[in-house]
Structure 1
């Protein structure tokens, strides 16, 4: 599998969960040092993993990283797109100009489209696959103080839903997990390990498109 936006919280937890099931894991992020640390931790737990450096706002880097991951670890059967948005994407709507939306759209639309287009041919050759989009609560309920993510997550959500409807007949399941609020260590539903279990369940059960990690007002 490949985790785009892999970090020491959710990304590492998902890598552990899928790794326990025998998946080799490609971790894609910007920070080589952080990637190496996660790969080392996974290796200590018996999980095969490698890190690949790419910025999701640079589609050529992202597609190259996923291509290298497939060459090194095998066809990407599961893709998770879950990078954490930049704080400067979250401006109030009346303070958001058209140029302020470039970053969010690159991050949440161009990035996912590039990633999916890179891995989809391999999934089709396998005759199976799973694509998981992980978003914050503004994907479901737009917030006027977080205009960038509200607008870009809505577009990402629509793209994922279109893929869900189009690819289901090919054995490729597309799902979105909306995580309201912050990921919280020790939380019954939003601890990284609990979220990783939820994502594993979405991969296995293959039911519906949008799912919620917790209540939207949490």
Structure 2
């Protein structure tokens, strides 16, 4: 059994994607700073018959991320699918004219150094398997910068560039990198942007392996 590793585990999209990949015969590794959340999520997944374990790590601490992913692989089995979808902090979203150089340290650590750390941790295992999937989830500012959310706009654009380069560089090795853009809010009542609908979309991106960038909804005009 191979492992689906979710960086940024939470009760909405995170739980839905963990359940979707877990019911497709993958073990589930949940990675988050909040140990109480991890305990609650793993308990809920276990009730659904999904084998899951929580691993505490902070995406702004590369060492803790590497340790968590290595522990997940050793405990649950090799990581075949990595999903990077932590929720950015509110203080990343200053207006562009109020943004100073040091305001970008945390957003870039969150959306660039975090993904790079995770990919470097899981690539050896994917190469040994001969297959793998890297899934990146971002908001609409990744492709349409928003002047009131400068930190995430800049950092998401950098993450998008990194993920696009991975898509091109790793395709010959049967490792598929793809990005899902969610332009608006995730809502249980939304047709295409509910947690369950997005989880199904992410699973299809993994299974079908077609193209790099996908949109949950069209970008608003």
Q: TM-score, normalised by structure 2?
A: 0.98
Q: Within 5 Å, give how 1:191-206 maps onto structure 2.
A: 191-206=194-209
Q: CA separation in 2, counterparts of 1:181 and 1:89? A: 17
- Other-structure match for 2:17: 14
SS in 2 for 1:135: strand
* Corresponding residue number in structure 1 for 2:48: 45
Give matches, 1:34-183, under 5 Å. 34-183=37-186
Cα offset, 1:217, TM superposition: 1.0
- Aligned-pair Cα RMSD in Å: 0.7
Aligned equivalents of 1:107 and 1:171: distance in 2? Answer: 27
User: Distance between the aligned counterparts of 2:115 and 2:44, measured in 1?
Assistant: 27
CA distance in 2, matches of 1:107, 1:202: 23
Per-residue deviation at 1:185?
1.1
Secondary structure in 1 aligned to 2:87? coil
- Runs ≥4 residues deviating over 6 A: none
Task: Give the gaps of 5 or more residues in structure 2.
Answer: none
Structure 1 residue 196: Cα displacement: 0.1
C-alpha separation in 1, matches of 2:88 and 2:219:
19
Distance in 2 (alpha carbons) for counterparts of 1:150 and 1:33: 30
- Whole-Å separation in 1 of the counterparts to 2:216 and 2:9: 19
TM-score normalised per structure 1: 0.99
Segments of structure 1 that go 5 or more residues without pairing to the other structure are: none
**Whole-angstrom distance in 1 between the partners of 2:189 and 2:33:** 27
